[in-house]
Amino acid sequence: MKILDKYILKSFLITFTSVFVILFFIFILQGIWLFISELAGKDLDTFLIFKFLILYSPTVVPLVLPLSVLLASIMTFGSFAENYEFAAMKSSGISLKRAMRSLIIFIFILSGIAFLFANNIIPQAQYKFINLRKSILNKSLLWQ
């Protein structure tokens, strides 16, 4: 792997992880607001609420991942254009297709991982999440 490929990939990965974490946090907060009626006033301990959020988080990943890739690529290539790094690449004879090759390979690998994640982990987490929601609802019905 050439130095330019490492530089582009490193710039993209730093931006990607920060955008992913921020969007993941926003979507988790949206999920809290979505299920606040099921959680509020039930006298739940912190561990149970934390478990609720952990089991909800895999369903958020397929929503956050495409947005993160899009925003990170726009931000990374916008930064390259702003700092005239694309002009330097073009003047040294490197085409845009060649500059994006390492990111294209990374995105294909990421899409394979996302497919396996959506195929294997999300259904199990969703099953446990629904069971936990039912047990919280049953717990609240017992107290009434």
pLDDT in tens, 29-80: 998 898 887 777 777 788 888 898 999 999 999 999 999 999 999 999 999 9
Q: How many domains does the chain have?
A: 1
pTM of the predicted model, to two decimals?
0.86
Name the amino acid, one letter, at 38.
Answer: E
Q: The domain containing residue 67 runs over which residues?
A: 3-143
CA dist 28 → 60, 87, 111, 131 (Å):
7, 40, 22, 19
From CA 32, how far away is CA 60, in angstroms rounded? 12
